Amino acid sequence: MNFELSDIPVRPKKPRNSGLTMMMDKGLSIRQAEDFLSVASNYCDLVKLGFGTSYITPGVKEKVALYQKAGMKVYLGGTLFEAFLIRGMFDEYLRVMDKFGLDSVEVSDGSLQITHDLKCEYISLLAKYYTVLSEVGSKEAGILIHPKIWKSMMQKELDAGSWKVIAEARESGTVGIFRPSGKAHVSLVKQIVESVKAEDIIWEAPQKSQQVWFIKELGPNVNLGNIGYDEVIPLETLRLGLRGDTFMSFISHKSQVIKTEPKVPEKVTSKNKMKEITVKELKSKLDKKEDIQVIDCREPYEFEIANINAQLIPMGEMMDNIDKIARDKMVVIHCRSGARSGNIIQALEAREGFTNLYNLKGGILAWADEVDNTLTKY
C-alpha cells in the first residue's frame, strides 16, 4: 500500500482461499491484459475467458501464460464447455485445454440439460487432472430453483471434487441468485450460506450494487466473480471500506461527526522533492563499479519480459521486505516508466524514513531508448 490507514480490513495474501476476485475477460488484447496486470495483479485471483471468446480472440495461449505468471488461475467459460459437450466433443475440449496450457476448468449446465449425476461424473473425472470450478443455477430468466436444491447441488459438486462452486448470475446479474431487477434473492443466499461454507462459493456479482450487498452481508473477504477488468480495483476499494458505499462498514467508531480541530504538522514530507537519476547517469555509475543497489519494483512477469539485472522486489511486497533495502548507500528503484517506483519511494520515505532512495527517471523504457535498445519494450 502507498500509505497507512487504520481500520482497514485484513485481506489474505495470494494465493488465497477466500476473498477471491474472479475477473471476466471478454476478449482483452495481450496489451490490455499486460496493462491490467501492471496495476491489478495483486487484487485478482482468477480469470475466466468469458463464454466463447477464446474461440475467436487472438493470442489466447500467450495471454493465459501472462495471467498464470501473475499467479492467477485461468479457465474457459462454462458456456464453451457446454458447447463442446452438446456436440459430443469432450475429448476435443480436453485437447484445447492442453493446447492453451490450462490447469483449471469450469463445469456448467446453464445452457444445456444433463442430469446432475452426470455433471458430477464430469467433475470427478476432471478433478483428477485440473482445478475444477462448477457453476450452479440456470442462465434462463424466470427459472426458479428451490433453495434446498441449490444447497444440495452445491454440496454434491463440492463432494465430487469441485474446488469452488459458482452461484450463477450471468454477466448481466439478472438471473440465478438475482432477480430481474438485479437485486439479490436475499432468502436464497442466506439459506445457502447456512449449509455451504462461504469460502467454497464464488458469487457472480457483476454490478457494483451487488458487490456492495455481498460485502455488507458476508464481509470483505467474500468470493466474488464476473468482475470487469476495469472494476477489479474499484471492487478492492469496496472491500477495504474506501468507497462511499462501504465507507462506514469497517470503522471501529461509528460517529461521522469529526470534532477534533485541524493542526498543521511541523513538516509535510509530501512536499519534499523526490531524488531522481537518469538512465545514463546510472549506467555511468554502474560502469565505474560504484556501490549502488538497484531494485526493480515491477511484477515478476514484467521482469521476464525485460530487465537490467536489478533486484526484483514487486511493489506490493516492498513493505514486507524493508530489511532487503540498504540504508547505507545509494538505492535506485525503477519500474516500467517511473510512476510506480516514484509512488513506492514516497511511501518508503514517509513511513520508513529512507533518505537514500532515487527514482530512475523514465524507468526501463528510458533504459531501452537510451542505453540498451535490444531490450523488449512493452
Whether residue 146 is predicted with pLDDT greater than 90 in this model: the reply is: no
Residue from 44, 120, 297, 335 carrying the catalytic annotation: 335
Cα 108 to chain centroid, rounded? 23
- Determine the pLDDT at residue 110: 83
What superfamily does domain 21-246 belong to in CATH? Aldolase class I (3.20.20.70)
What the block records as the C-alpha cell of 154 is 452445491
Please report which confidence band the pLDDT of residue 378 belongs to, taking 50, 70 and 90 as the band edges: confident
> In the chain, which segments carry CATH 3.40.250.10?
272-370
pLDDT single digits (tens) 179-214: 888 888 888 899 999 999 999 999 999 999 999 999
Cβ contact 168:110 at 8 Å? yes
Rounded-to-integer distance, Cα 191 and Cα 182, Å: 19
Alpha-carbon dihedral 137, 141, 143, 144, rounded to 10 degrees: 70
Give residue 267's pLDDT band: very low, low, confident or very high (50, 70, 90): very low
Q: What are phi and psi of 136, to 5 degrees?
A: -120, 135
The C-alpha angle 102, 105, 106, rounded to 5 degrees, equals 150
Pick 272-370's CATH classification: 3.40.250.10, 3.40.50.300, 3.40.470.10, 3.40.50.11260.
3.40.250.10
What DSSP line would sit under 20-80, residue for residue? Answer: -EEEEESS--HHHHHHHHHHHGGG--EEEE-TTGGGT-TTHHHHHHHHHHTT-EEEE-HHH
Contact by Cβ (8 Å): 178, 142: no
Q: Give yes or no for residue 270 having a pLDDT over 50.
A: no
By percentage, how much of the chain surpasses pLDDT 90? 76
Which positions ≥6 away from 139 have C-beta within 8 Å? 110, 111, 168, 170, 175, 176
This model's pTM is above 0.75: no
Identity of the residue numbered 208: K
8: enclosing H helix or E strand? none
pLDDT above 50: residue 238: yes
The dihedrals phi and psi of 151, each to the nearest 5 degrees, come to: -65, -45
Answer yes or no: are the C-beta atoms of 124 and 87 closer than 8 Å.
no
Q: Average pLDDT, stretch 215-220?
A: 95
Query: Can you tell me the distance from the alpha carbon of 245 to that of 214, in angstroms, rounded to the nearest whole number?
Result: 12
Residue 229 has pLDDT above 90, yes or no: yes
Active site residue 44: no
